[in-house]
Amino acid sequence: MPPSKPQQGLRTPTAGACALQERLHELLSRIATVSDIVKNWPESDGDVTATHVERTSRLIAAIRQVLTMIEKTETVVKADAALKQSLQDCLIPLDLLDLMDHGGGLNPDCFSRGILTEALGQLAGLTRRKLALSMLGAAVQQGINQRQAAVVLEQEEAGVKRERDDNGADDGGGVELPTKRVKTEGGATAIKTLI
């Protein structure tokens, strides 16, 4: 029997892919740090030169860390030819391209939010489908169990009937004896065997 081909979505990640994922995670963390510094930038209220210098120094250091992580990420991709080829062959979602085409003056956060919203919607759809399939599986299993119980009951009834037939054959030789209904003294009816 020939070995089965691995399904496209079930491949195990290579060492290069794991390293790339770690580098991208670190890069996103560094970008989030820069974003936090910019969002929490203090407003200038007169003489805040020391605060401004300290904040600017932190921002420059964070931007340098982002650049370093970009270089490390590029190094990981350049070092693994198969990973580089798979990234070049990767299909880009049309929704992302539409967002980029129509978002001329939009903030890049809008792209991220749009993609995140779409991903969460698809995840919710998958969760609903999974729940529906599990309910269907439970209903099918319940039907199978009921059918098996009915078959077992039928087999037990057939066994009891067979036992009665076997016991009846021993008592009367398989011949039914003639009977007659007779009234007793108290007015009740009894069945009497005529032999």
Task: Say what the pLDDT of residue 52 is.
Answer: 76
Q: 């919607």: which residue's tokens?
A: 121
Q: Which amino acid is at 129?
A: R
| In the chain, domain spans | 14-90
Report which of residues 153 and 110 the model is more confident about. 153
Tokens in use for 151?
A: 């078959």
Query: Could you give the 3-state DSSP secondary structure of residue 4?
Result: coil
Q: How many CA atoms lie within 13 A of 106 on its CB side?
A: 14
Task: Say what the pLDDT of residue 40 is.
Answer: 82
Q: DSSP states of 31-93 as a string?
A: HHHHHHHHHTPPPP-SS-HHHHHHHHHHHHHHHHHHHHHHHHHHHHHHH-HHHHHHHHHPPPP
Q: What is the pTM of this model?
A: 0.43
Q: How many CA atoms lie within 13 A of 164 on its CB side?
A: 6
Please tell me the distance from the alpha carbon of residue 88 to that of residue 76, in angstroms, as a whole number: 14
Task: Say what the pLDDT of residue 163 is.
Answer: 72
Tokens in use for 80?
A: 């693994």
Residue pair 62/29 in contact (Cβ under 8 Å)? The answer is no
Task: Say what the pLDDT of residue 189 is.
Answer: 60
pLDDT for 18-42, tens place per residue? 888 899 889 888 888 888 888 887 7
